[in-house]
Amino acid sequence: MAVLIKNGLVYDGLGNPPERKDVLIRGQFIAKIGTLSRSHADEVIDAHSMYVTPGCIDVTSHSDHHYSLFNEPNQEDLLSQGITSIIGGNCGFSLAPLFGVLPDITTEWGSINGINVNWKTVKEFLGYFKEHPLGVNFGTLVGYTGLRRGTTKDRFRDLTDGELISIERMVDISIKEGALGVSFGLEHIHGMRTPFYEIERIARTVSRNKGICSIHMRDMREGIKKSVEESVSIAEKTGCGIHISHMQPLKKYNKQYIEALSYLSSHAHVTNIHFDINTFDTIPILLYELLPVWAQEESSKKMKENLCVDGFRTRLLEYIKKTAARDYVISHVPDRTLKFFEGKSMRELAMRAGVSYEEMIVNVMYATQFRATASVKIVDTDTIEQAVAHSQSVISSNSAAFGKKEFKQNQGTHTFPEFFSFVEKKKIIPMEKAVEKTSSIPAKEFGINKRGVISEGNYADIVLWSNNKPVQTFVNGLCAWSAEIGCNNVRNGTILESIKKQ
């Protein structure tokens, strides 16, 4: 079947000014671009009032962590905001490989109940989605923190050289089997103790395989510049491409953030580094991230037990009273029996229960066993403008698709439309440069072949927009979602493979 998108304002994704053109889709691919006759097509879409872009590529997705790849295979929340490709396995955790790692490694985010985990290797994991396609294209990184936890059995300790060699082999094999690279979660409990030399060793393995390292940095606050320096150092020492995940500017630390941006700029000529952001004023956090280092333990069970110890609890309450943000909204709880928490603010719950704010935070930690995500309004929106304008920034949701009856996070449903509206309103960069940050730049960074650019011969991942809202989203040549009908249940997504390794 051939579809002709007629007379749309086409942004090619390469940062060039838009041109009014026709785009012919035949099968999975873009067949022709130019001034074309209607006779070429079985279906003609009049796009004179729309603009046309490559499908958005979300490089920091958590649809795998929340297991919505299985529960919501259409990924409608993503299609409806113009996303056609996602990268999983972020922040140090992936669903493959599973050697020595429990399949519920990401229970802080989601529940594995009802999912048949019949894979161990990356090849087998990706094979599952070849047999059960998604509504979007999908690629994965290998989560180093998960592999490390599996190796140490969740203990806080250094790896032996033999253990590190074993993980290097797993990384090497996994990238050869289709993983795009490795991710590190250096701010999480089991990742923050990862020494520099381990990261360097793994990054060298990734570099030899022409993959990428994605880093959730150790400190996004006062120490953000030092964290950026560590990421740059890894790139310089190993030659590996580095992606910094969700580098949002936080209130009170805008000075440090701007210094970090400047440091990235000064090293752009010698390193291949990008970072992702979005334009919302909130960020998601895992509840255990509210704990001080002295309260963090190797297991959530032990941390829960500590909450019942009087002296420990008193000390923790004092700490949270001094450090907690103005409010937190509980955005996701994997346990279905605790879904009533979702959408509620901690202050609202505290008032209803007649307890202090800090007491309620600890109570929710206990009730959920730290398995919950909260949203907190701490992003410095003024500094976001500088991040958007930065040459090394791209856009990501840092979220996931959820079911129709689940509480929706703005990042999971509106990241890319919100970004385009933000750019149009603030006029920080031209719209063609904004489109580039959502398409060709991430495609090139992650080595994604024939995507991210509207060009003849490329895959037809295309979005039609009106007033910065998607009208139709095409994935590999088929309309997967439209504003008129919603999700079409075509599930035409495929596995993303890196051209760098070919």
pLDDT score of 299:
86
Considering the chain, what percentage of its residues have pLDDT values greater than 90? 88
Question: Which H helix or E strand runs over 147?
Answer: helix 144-152
Query: In Å, how far are 1, 192, 387, 389, 438 from 381, measured between CA atoms?
Result: 45, 27, 10, 13, 20
pLDDT score recorded for residue 500: 62
Structure confidence at residue 391 as a pLDDT band (50, 70, 90) = very high
Distance between CA atoms of 481 and 474, rounded to whole angstroms? 7
Is the pLDDT assigned to residue 111 strictly greater than 90?
no
pLDDT score at 40: 76
According to the model, what pLDDT value does residue 211 have?
97
Tens digits of per-residue pLDDT, 161-216?
999 999 999 999 999 999 999 999 999 888 999 999 999 999 999 999 999 999 99
State residue 135's pLDDT score.
98
Give 454's Cβ-side CA count (13 Å radius): 35
pLDDT at 494: 98
Task: Give the list of residues 6+ apart from residue 90 with CB closer than 8 angstroms, or none.
Answer: 60, 61, 62, 65, 141, 143, 183, 214, 216, 245
How do strand 469-475 and strand 462-466 relate by DSSP bridges?
antiparallel
Among 295-304, 352-361, 431-440, name the one with the lowest average pLDDT.
Answer: 295-304
pLDDT, average across residues 90-96: 95
User: What is the pLDDT at residue 190?
Assistant: 87
Kindly report the number of other CB atoms within 10 A of residue 476's CB atom: 23
Q: Residue 292 burial (CB < 10 Å; 0-12/13-18/19+)?
A: exposed
The tens digit of pLDDT for each residue in 19-29 reads 999 999 999 99
| CATH number for the segment(s) 56-281+380-445 | 3.20.20.140
What is the structure's pLDDT at 270? 78
Backbone angles phi and psi of 285, in degrees to 5: -135, 150
Is residue 103 over pLDDT 70?
no
**The predicted structure's pLDDT at residue 104:** 53
Three-class SS of residue 167?
helix
* Sign of the torsion angle spanned by Cα atoms 184, 186, 188, 191: positive
CA 236, chain centre distance (Å): 24
Is pLDDT of 298 > 90? no
| Domain extents in the chain | 2-54+455-501, 56-281+380-445, 286-376
Query: Are the CB atoms for 51 and 44 separated by under 8 Å?
Result: no
Q: How far apart are CA 38 and CA 90, in angstroms?
A: 44
Residues 6+ apart with CB under 8 A from 371: 107, 108, 287, 300, 333, 334, 335
- Residues 472, 476, 481, CA angle at the centre, nearest 5°? 25
Average pLDDT for residues 433-457, to the nearest whole number? 97
Q: Please state, rounded to an integer, the average pLDDT across all residues of the chain.
A: 94
Q: Looking at the predicted structure, is the pLDDT value of residue 501 above 70? A: no
Strongest mean pLDDT among 92-96, 336-340, 392-396: 392-396
Cβ atoms of residues 81 and 37 within 8 Å:
no
With cut-offs at 50, 70 and 90, classify the pLDDT of residue 39: confident
Dihedral sign (CA 214, 216, 218, 220) = positive
Does the pLDDT value for residue 31 go beyond 90? yes
Least confident among 334-338, 432-436, 470-474: 334-338
pLDDT over 90 (residue 106): no
pLDDT at 496: 97
Q: How far apart are CA 433 and CA 425, in angstroms?
A: 15
Q: For the residues 62-89, what does the mean pLDDT come to?
A: 96
Task: Give burial (CB, 10 Å; 0-12/13-18/19+) of 264.
Answer: buried
Domain 2-54+455-501: CATH superfamily is: Urease, subunit C, domain 1 (2.30.40.10)
